[in-house]
Amino acid sequence: MTDQNSAAIDRRLLLQAGSAAVGAMAFSDGAAAAAGAAPGKGWEEKPMRWVQICATDDDPQRYDQAFWMDLLKRTSTGGVCLSAGGVTAFYPTKVPFHYRSPYLGKTDMFGDLTKACKKIGIRVLGRVDPHAMHADALAAHPEWVARNADGTPKKHPTAADLHLTCPNGGVNFEWMPKILKEIVTTYPVDGIFGNRWGGSAGICYCGVCKSEFKAASGFDVPLSLSNPLAPDVKAYNVWVDEKRYAQIKLWNDTVTAVNPDAFFTPGTWGRLDPVRLRSTIRAVFSDRQGRNGQDPAWRNGQSAKEAYCTMQDRPVSGIFAVGETSTPYRFEDSCQSSAELATYIHDGLAHGFRPWMTKFKAEVFDKRWVPVVEQAYVWHAKNENYFRHTENLARVAMVQSDQTATYYVPPAPQASSVREVVPEAAQPRVGNNDYVRGFYQSLVESRVPFNMADERQLDSSYISRYKVLVLPNVAALSDKQCAQLRDYVEKGGAIVATHETSLYDEWGKPRANFALADLFGCDYAGKTDPRVQNSYLTVHGPHPLTVGFDDTPRIMAGTKLVHVKPRDTQKAPLTLVPSYPDLPMERVFTTVWQTEEPMVYLRQVGKGRVVYFPFDLDRCFWETSNQDHLALLRNAVSWANGGEHPLKVTGAGIVDVSYWRQANSVTAHLVNLTNPMAMKGYMREILPMGPYTVSLELPPGRTVRGVRLLESGATVTGHMTGNHFVVEVPRVHVHEVVAVDLV
């Protein structure tokens, strides 16, 4: 895409935009200003535990209200989400084409449950889902249905009598607001939760989409989104995102017009800009219900960090399903193993989620999840004050980049080994997710408390709280974002960057040189090898980066190499041994024993520090789990940090840690992820671990009044070492919290 094309898209969309909120581009800097003032805090601050009862059409005649009301009381649940309308209405709606459950009869399941919950002080969100429509609606409103490229209506993939709705036209912008208004007017609900609120239809070729997109961008609706660099695809992404901002605003305005204390909240927000989201949304309930067997054990903690980064000081709740919903087969009437469920819940809690349990189908067959959820909720309620955080105390943050995830198309690897051809499907085509996961895993294993930082809020008022920012191949960065990072380093911040970081602009357009070349201390030499076989790093220790390598002259290099030219002649602690044959065995040797080519650039810039690795260290660690790569990533963050982390945990096993402050306490969380299948598999059994030594840096001017362990219930003692308070934790079952009360 040329600059000219980029600018043309910008101009057309801006010209077409009717309101200020719709005027800003997805990744633009003017978004915050355009979005207006942030909403104030309201009732959403209070509920700490949530339950969602997600009804099926036949539930009105089959579910046991007493079971649910009893569970809500026993678990001190503060908020519920109840199926209200959209695909099916669970109340006697009067809105035309709003399909009532045929099992509803003269009853009102939604209304009855809402009243019962409100009576005992539980807040209620009505759940709506607009993604599918019935035949009568299609006959009366053919303009509502999502259409294929050939103009035929899109059938629902699993329900033969339903069709998919277009998310950009009459359903979401005219019909659903009537339903929202009816729900909020008729029932004492506190808000509306949107499930599949942006539809599930993929690209839609209905008349509305075709004409509105053409008018906005000058393009036809693209036939495929598989090439994110195509100008029409970029324009389509921007247009769709603007539709979602407009929908959030309309739905929220619809709700607040009836009840100013109520609000709309979307279950997912994808790549939408956190700054713009916060201008409308008061709380999020993050809809990532479970992990599949390929997801790491820390997956829910990552979701919590992402939500916390998006919402900052507002409540974030994490949705978990008790059923098995995270594979394509969705066995929703069964339930997950207790070990998996407990670990998933607690890893979210440790990183700031309030728990939200989702049960698909109000009728319950398999009740084995009940004691797991009850135990977690009762414990959470008992210790609620230690979960009302005022601040996360991490001083390391990972930059998350939706631009890179959307628009970075890495150079494609070629097979270079006779042994193996790289399967295309095994290599991510777009984005940096494997770099993120590799770096994330290394931070978990290194027990570094860390947060996420969004690329759209790199202004110093936000990121100056961090000592180190890690950039896991954050390839797509705008000039402004790079200037913000430069400013951050000049003022004393540190960055650790890998691979092609800053080598592309925010739209994925390659640059001639890294935008951060001055920080890295090297220039791009015009070439990135997408596949390197059998290459090494020569260790030149002792050095802070070579700690742990004293007994080896070389360690593994990566599998992707960025060619760079150093700006000075400083000797690097790690240099390249170039790739040499890996087969046949008789040829696996090299005459080039070592080179002077640096494989890490470490520099002091201004008051800050910079580490840059010109290869895929983090991605390669994700793929190979090599111990030396783990040590190298850990050493790099440690050198960049220049001192101690505010929380230190020593002891055996894999524990996911976090460190939080509340009004009168600090809490160190240790989630036990030790499991034979911890890297890529479901938890099957809890293996208790310990002992651990936990060292907490105290806030300035505060002293310790008492300390206790929230999981074991034990009261323990500790001692001061400098400004750190040191506590021995004998054992961690699933999730121990060291709660230190302060005076």
Interface residues toward Zn ion, by CB under 5 A: 166, 168, 204, 206, 209
CB of 206 or CB of 238, closer to Zn ion: 206
Token pair, residue 448, equals 């570094």
Closest approach of Cβ 285 to Zn ion, in Å? Answer: 27
Closest approach of Cβ 146 to Zn ion, in Å? Answer: 6
Closest approach of Cβ 277 to Zn ion, in Å? Answer: 23
Q: How many whole angstroms separate alpha carbon 456 and alpha carbon 112? A: 44
Closest approach of Cβ 210 to Zn ion, in Å? Answer: 8
Closest approach of Cβ 144 to Zn ion, in Å? Answer: 9
CB of 166 or CB of 610, closer to Zn ion: 166
Q: How many whole angstroms separate alpha carbon 607 and alpha carbon 488? A: 9
Q: How many whole angstroms separate alpha carbon 25 and alpha carbon 456? A: 12
Closest approach of Cβ 158 to Zn ion, in Å? Answer: 21
What is the largest distance, in Å, between two alpha-carbon atoms of the chain?
85
CB of 204 or CB of 319, closer to Zn ion: 204
Closest approach of Cβ 633 to Zn ion, in Å? Answer: 45
Asked if 469 contacts 485 with a C-beta cutoff of 8 angstroms, the reply is yes
CB of 168 or CB of 247, closer to Zn ion: 168
Strands (E) located in 606-688: 608-613, 647-650, 655-662, 665-672
CB of 210 or CB of 702, closer to Zn ion: 210
Closest approach of Cβ 221 to Zn ion, in Å? Answer: 8
Closest approach of Cβ 143 to Zn ion, in Å? Answer: 9
Q: How many whole angstroms separate alpha carbon 11 and alpha carbon 83? A: 42
Burial (CB count within 10 angstroms: exposed 0-12, middle 13-18, buried 19+), residue 376: buried
CB of 131 or CB of 634, closer to Zn ion: 131
CB of 145 or CB of 319, closer to Zn ion: 145
Query: Any idea what the Cα angle at residue 413 is, between residues 408 and 419, rounded to 5°?
Result: 155
Closest approach of Cβ 209 to Zn ion, in Å? Answer: 3
Place of tokens 């000058």: 218
Closest approach of Cβ 320 to Zn ion, in Å? Answer: 33
CB of 105 or CB of 207, closer to Zn ion: 207
Asked if 21 contacts 247 with a C-beta cutoff of 8 angstroms, the reply is no
Pairing of strands 354-360, 316-321: parallel
Backbone angles phi, psi at 557, to 5 degrees: -90, -160
CB of 239 or CB of 245, closer to Zn ion: 239
Asked if 388 contacts 662 with a C-beta cutoff of 8 angstroms, the reply is yes
Burial letters 503-524, b for 16+ CB under 10 A, else e? bbbbbbeebebbbbbbbbbbeb
CB of 204 or CB of 671, closer to Zn ion: 204
Q: How many whole angstroms separate alpha carbon 685 and alpha carbon 339? A: 5
CB of 132 or CB of 655, closer to Zn ion: 132
Backbone angles phi, psi at 58, to 5 degrees: -85, -5
CB of 166 or CB of 649, closer to Zn ion: 166
- Residue 522's contacts (CB-CB under 8 Å, 6 or more residues apart) are 514, 564, 565, 566, 567, 598, 601, 612, 614
Phi-psi region of 345 (alpha: psi -120 to 50; beta: other; left: phi over 0): alpha
Q: What is the DSSP string of 309-376?
A: HHHTTS-EEEEEESSB-SSTT-BTTS---HHHHHHHHHHHHHTTPEEEEEEESSS-S--TTHHHHHHH
Q: Which helix (H) or strand (E) holds 173?
A: none
Closest approach of Cβ 271 to Zn ion, in Å? Answer: 20
